Amino acid sequence: MKKIIKLKEQEFKNIIKNVINEYKQNIVYLTDGQINYYNERWKNGTNIKYTNNGFYKNLMNKVNKTKRLTKKQKWFLDFLFSRGESPYDAGILPSNY
């Protein structure tokens, strides 16, 4: 019984390590230039509809506080700043929709 518990503990540790590694690979660290670009676009080039949106506000807070985003979060901000609208408003729906 103790061997089974030790094996399960090891399996659990391996699963946790894999999840942490996947998370680390998904993180994008932003440079000061990127942060300045995002802040400039946020203040001057973004529709008020998005500056009042909780999702985008939280992303910008995360940019300024932690200086990192996941790849998907960065994609959402890049899309907003390059096209001036969210992917949903542009008609690009998530795959699980």
pLDDT for the residue numbered 9: 77
pLDDT above 70 for 3: no
For residues 47 and 41, what is the distance between their CA atoms, to the nearest angstrom?
Answer: 10
Alpha helices in 26-89 (DSSP H): 32-44, 48-51, 54-66, 71-83
pLDDT tens for residues 84-97? 888 888 888 766 65
pLDDT tens for residues 11-24? 877 777 777 777 77
Domain ranges of the chain: 2-83
The overall pTM is greater than 0.75: no
Mean local confidence (pLDDT), 53-79? 92
pLDDT above 90 for 59: yes
